Amino acid sequence: MHRPDPHGTTPGTIAPHIPADLYRHLDGRNVVIVQPPAPARSVGKWAVPLAIGLAGAAGVIGLVAAAVAVFDYAVRTAALIGSTTGPIGLGLSLKLFQSKNK
């Protein structure tokens, strides 16, 4: 429920994190807001480990991709050799293993 301001006009935005009851209790007196200092960590302190971690992750992904590519190439080569020598191998086997007593 909206209550009208007892002082008439509301001044500009003054420290919106101060509770309304405390603000009204001040009756227009000055308020000093103390903010904690900014964190001491600079950009370099977290950017370097982040860059190293991302580079390591990219390297691992690259190694996995290369291993998968080599495995895929080996499987395709074996399948190609097996498919081309299959009929030849079958013909040689039939010729070698046919009975000698005709």
pLDDT tens-place values along the chain, 102 residues long: 566 555 555 555 554 466 777 777 777 777 777 777 767 777 778 898 999 999 999 999 999 999 999 999 999 988 887 777 766 666 766 676 676 666
Q: Compute the distance between CA of residue 76 and CA of residue 51 in angstroms, rounded to an integer.
A: 37
18 secondary structure, DSSP code:
S
